[in-house]
Structure 1
């Protein structure tokens, strides 16, 4: 666009470049009149960015990158209490062009002209309201993904109006069924939060594990919240239409039957604490990287936020104690998993590996080094100089004997010292079982053991000081029954002690559970040969996954009835051949069928 036909010539004003401005030409704007309070603005902003103030101003340091060098938007500065009285941002910027402390950059930003000459005396603080920075290691993050989700540790729901509060009290009244209250709470909880992919996976798995079913409302027709809003639906109507989670029919039937008194034994019960323990210690450890600190932190925060919502809105006050206990489990998980992964990667440890190497265990014959690997060895392709697998028999023998010398009896040491290095004579394995173990105590090496290990290590270089991990038998919930004779079983009341490096014992704590293969020598020394699984102290097993998809068997089919009839006929025949004895036949009551029975004509219907 051109200038107006009879426009006045623009006045000549100082230019930031130091050259006088020329007359206004088509497409340019006339120069601004000076701000009436330019001197006050200049003096205040110069003070904000001065060496004397900035090194003590945590907030402004955060806005300027932590060291005062980054540009900052003018709107941040004019939001300061002493700057709010100054209006017209364009004129404020124009006034700041005369500053010797700051300079105008990038249209509406200002920046210090020179780096700070004084040491920063405070830790820069940056509120999420003012600045969002895409992490350097996550360039794929978008501004939308950086927005608050509602799962932040300190996130709470917005203040309720009196009408909303009254509505909630009616909706979550204890007179209403717990099922209706929890369904409504889950719906409102999910609708009030931005669920990223990771948090959605955690919450969906948690809901289904707890007896809910997930799926979009079949009547929504694929319509979005925005489309429904345009069609005139209220917020409550939209929430109902977009409902995603609901209590499964099987759980509802069980719960209502208990309320009515028609079901004597509860098949589903409300237990927030138990469910938190079971979910975090079982499916979460299976499906997620529980050894990653950030993944654990973000995942348990999803559960913690849900419990906070239920408590804050008085959804089920009769279970408030359970909710607080469940919230503590989230805190406990963060602390325990940080230690548990160290224990998981460190066990069974040098002494147990030495026993396994010497006496036919999991590590026997595993020893290999890169220097010994031949071209025909399949392991040689990936092994490099310095790699080693397992222990040599010489190393294993030394670690084993050092452990017995430090912690064994005199009789045990004599037996071990007289046994051959190759393990072919002297000591024998008398028991080998796959059992559950629970840590009940940690015993660090005493001064005598420490001195012995120090002397051995100074001579051989690969023997570390060891203490004792004290365990008791733990019944693994999903383990099949053992068919070993009683003479080969470890007594359930017996405490088992295992030698473990002191530096690993520092991460062990009572309550850790594991499923392991434990072997015992004829001198009364037990060792952990291998570990199949590791669990935190709050590990809880519940049959929720199986119960949720369980289907009651229907009536027998015609094919089943024919088989049952033929089975009874065979049992009668066996009884007759035995001489008419009134005792049941070999197959009766034991689910057995005559091996010669012909079923070729009886295909399933």
Structure 2
């Protein structure tokens, strides 16, 4: 008799594997491999090609991907299903896309930020055979993870504002992207979702709002990557040198032990910082600033003070180094990077509390009379391409007594579309549960071996909690 061809376990269904195990158990002389081959027989399961499984399978988020056109009947069905809720649209969107874990984590956070409840689907423990027996609608319902609570159905809907709040603050703080690919993954996923809603007329009354949100996605992909690079490279040699010499996050007040290697290294850094500051003020500062700086240095009276009651600055314009500045650096300081100028105004973060003030001052602030300051920073040329009008930098601002401003360590950076909403405060909020029964047990001094009596329909019986002695233990 011809021996049946060998069959790999992954090519068989769970039912065929169980039948093969039973067959091999009843016939000791028959190996499991032969039993599996005999069970599968001519109905051998075809293995899916690599393009349909694993990491190489299309996801639906590719740049070239587009959903197929809808038939009139499908379009009518969509309008009937989607109007007026978006919950069904989320089910169908997730069903038609292969969302990888990293993308799913980000998209779930975005939905939750927008007020959509996210939970585990019921297909987590199901096998392939169970999924095959489900209809399309059943499978779509089983894979659903999003749910909109009735209590939130009356809230205002604004796709663009939610996106601005999510991308400008929560996304950066939660995911801490370090590459451009991570940022594009987030913006393209959300933009793909908006495209899906627009194509199917899910919420026609918010069409303009979603179109604006799509533009915000494109803007976020550009600005957030610039912000990540500036956060990594800033504040630059000139501003860091000023902070080291005159005060700030890089200033070291405690002198190292005399004669140690640390003291020698510090002296070298300080001398290098002095050269950087002198070159920048002499080459790019005004005549008044340069002459006053030299006079104060000679008199050993140069000092700096921090600008109070602000969180940072908002950039108005970025000015590249002029030809004269480049020529100065090339001739007198070729080892250093030339500096340009950045004009900005003071910025107070609306997400942070106001500084302490008297009632009179608070009334003036509430009427728009809070003090505003204008700054002009000297910034290294290498950092200027990373800055743009509308960029908000959270950093300390210091002023030298010669009229030169410098920025301290950069703590955080916000894009032009920075928006503060309260949604981020609700990310870890959970629905309350009734603790009355637990409170009663604590009040009654419940012990671990407590016994509760329940009355059955036929006869009374004693029900003991787990861990308590049974009736027969006496």
Pairing 1:437–2:313 present = yes
C-alpha distance in 1 between matches for 2:101 and 2:192: 16
Q: Which position in structure 2 is the counterpart of 1:530?
A: 409
Pairing 1:275–2:162 present = yes
Q: Which position in structure 1 is the counterpart of 2:343?
A: 470
Q: 2:419 aligned to 540, 553, 575, which one?
A: 540
Pairing 1:167–2:77 present = yes
For this pair of structures, how many residues does the alignment match?
377
Q: Which position in structure 2 is the counterpart of 1:214?
A: 118
Q: Which position in structure 2 is the counterpart of 1:194?
A: 98
Q: Which position in structure 2 is the counterpart of 1:337?
A: 224
Pairing 1:307–2:218 present = no
Q: 1:244 aligned to 139, 145, 163, which one?
A: 145
Closer, same or farther: CA 161–400 of 1 in aligned 2, 3 Å: same
Q: Which position in structure 2 is the counterpart of 1:577?
A: none
Closer, same or farther: CA 480–402 of 1 in aligned 2, 3 Å: same
Pairing 1:427–2:328 present = no
**Where do 1:456-495 residues align within 5 Å?**
456-458=332-334, 461=335, 463-483=336-356, 492-495=371-374
The structural deviation recorded for 1:334 is 2.1
Q: If you compute each CA radius of gyration, which structure gives the higher value, 1 or 2?
A: 1
The structural deviation recorded for 1:510 is 1.0
SS of the residue 1:282 aligns to: helix
Cα RMSD, aligned residues only: 3.7
The structural deviation recorded for 1:508 is 1.6
Pairing 1:402–2:279 present = yes
Q: What are the superposed Cα offsets for residues 225-278 of structure 1, whole Å, 9 maximum, x if unpaired?
A: 852552xx53223323442101134422xx1xxxxxxxxxxxx42111111222
SS of the residue 1:363 aligns to: coil
Closer, same or farther: CA 391–171 of 1 in aligned 2, 3 Å: farther
Closer, same or farther: CA 481–289 of 1 in aligned 2, 3 Å: closer
**Unmatched tracts of structure 2, length 5 or more:** 3-48, 434-474
Which one scores higher on RCO, CA 8 angstroms, separation ≥ 6?
A: 2
Closer, same or farther: CA 366–302 of 1 in aligned 2, 3 Å: farther
C-alpha distance in 2 between matches for 1:390 and 1:437: 32
**Where do 1:16-31 residues align within 5 Å?**
none
**Unmatched tracts of structure 1, length 5 or more:** 3-129, 133-141, 256-267, 381-387, 555-605
TM score, norm. by length of structure 2: 0.70
Q: Which position in structure 2 is the counterpart of 1:447?
A: 323
For the 8 Å contact 2:50–2:56, the answer to whether it is kept is no
SS of the residue 1:321 aligns to: helix
SS of the residue 1:190 aligns to: helix
For the 8 Å contact 1:289–1:295, the answer to whether it is kept is no
Q: Which position in structure 1 is the counterpart of 2:89?
A: 185
C-alpha distance in 2 between matches for 1:397 and 1:367: 19
Q: Which position in structure 1 is the counterpart of 2:39?
A: none
C-alpha distance in 2 between matches for 1:201 and 1:450: 48
Closer, same or farther: CA 243–342 of 1 in aligned 2, 3 Å: closer
The structural deviation recorded for 1:308 is 0.9
Closer, same or farther: CA 342–221 of 1 in aligned 2, 3 Å: closer
Closer, same or farther: CA 308–435 of 1 in aligned 2, 3 Å: same
Question: Normalized per residue, which structure has more helix?
Answer: 2
Closer, same or farther: CA 217–451 of 1 in aligned 2, 3 Å: closer
C-alpha distance in 2 between matches for 1:324 and 1:276: 12
Closer, same or farther: CA 210–145 of 1 in aligned 2, 3 Å: same
Closer, same or farther: CA 285–549 of 1 in aligned 2, 3 Å: closer
Q: What are the superposed Cα offsets for residues 299-342 of structure 1, whole Å, 9 maximum, x if unpaired?
A: 22211111110011110011111111111222222222333233
Closer, same or farther: CA 419–392 of 1 in aligned 2, 3 Å: farther
Q: Which position in structure 2 is the counterpart of 1:322?
A: 209
Pairing 1:498–2:402 present = no
For the 8 Å contact 1:353–1:391, the answer to whether it is kept is no
